[in-house]
Amino acid sequence: DIQMTQSPSSMSASLGDRVTITCQASQDIGNNLIWFQQKPGKSPRPMIYYATNLANGVPSRFSGSRSGSDYSLTISSLESEDMADYHCLQYKQYPYTFGAGTKLELK
């Protein structure tokens, strides 16, 4: 199975900060990666698909990038509504696998 190593597991940041979360894939997944945002008691919300494409309705301060086997989600200027858990998912190969998640909190 493809392992997705997500880091950090948690972080705190201030409003207006630039924030980056990373997932490293254990095998080549091409760009077959989705980033999700999940708020308490809610379903995951797709934010980025195919590694770099913004999902419908997602603010432009969110972006996705790839460098080799490392995939990153960046929030260019953190807003209070961005406090949430973030998850990555590879859908290159079955079984699809998620990263362990990142909890983003306000400093």
Partner 1 sequence: EVQLVESGGGLVKPGSSLKLSCVASGFTFSSYGMHWIRQAPKKGLEWIALIYYDSSNKYYADSVKGRFTISRDNSKNTLYLEMNSLRSEDTAMYYCAKRLSDYWGQGVMVTVSS
Distance in Å, CB of 14 to partner 1, minimum:
26
Which of 17, 38 has the CB closer to partner 1?
38
Closest CA to 104 of 88, 82, 87: 82
Grouping H, G, I as helix, E, B as strand and the rest as coil, residue 48 is strand
List helix spans (H) across 1-107.
none
- Contacts with partner 1 in 33-52 (CB under 8 A)? 34, 36, 38, 43-46, 49-50
The CA distance from 99 to 26, in Å, is: 11
Query: Judged by CB under 8 A, which stretch of 13-21, 22-30, 63-71, 92-100 contacts partner 1?
Result: 92-100
Under the binding rule (CB under 8 A), the answer on residue 1 touching partner 1 is yes
